[in-house]
Amino acid sequence: VRGLYWEDINDVRRQLSVIRSVDTKGRIVAPKHWKGRKVPISPRLLAALSDLSRRPGPVFTRLDGEPIS
């Protein structure tokens, strides 16, 4: 979840792309097995995401806007 960025979410196709991960040291790395994948988004999740403010970068941040570590 920490590796999910707004540009990875496709509202029209209702899917998200898993193309990065965050390791235990907080570094952005490739996902498992070096393979990205597309994951469908339920209408409920899409509605919840639409309630969040969209700004460039990670979807889930601390209250001050910094990435979750």
Work out the average pLDDT over 23-29: 89
Work out the average pLDDT over 13-20: 94
**What's the DSSP call for residue 64?**
T
The CA distance from 29 to 19, in Å, is 9
Does position 6 have pLDDT exceeding 90, yes or no? yes
Does position 13 have pLDDT exceeding 80, yes or no? yes
Q: Hey, CA dihedral for 59, 61, 45, 27, is it positive or negative?
A: positive
Work out the average pLDDT over 38-53: 92
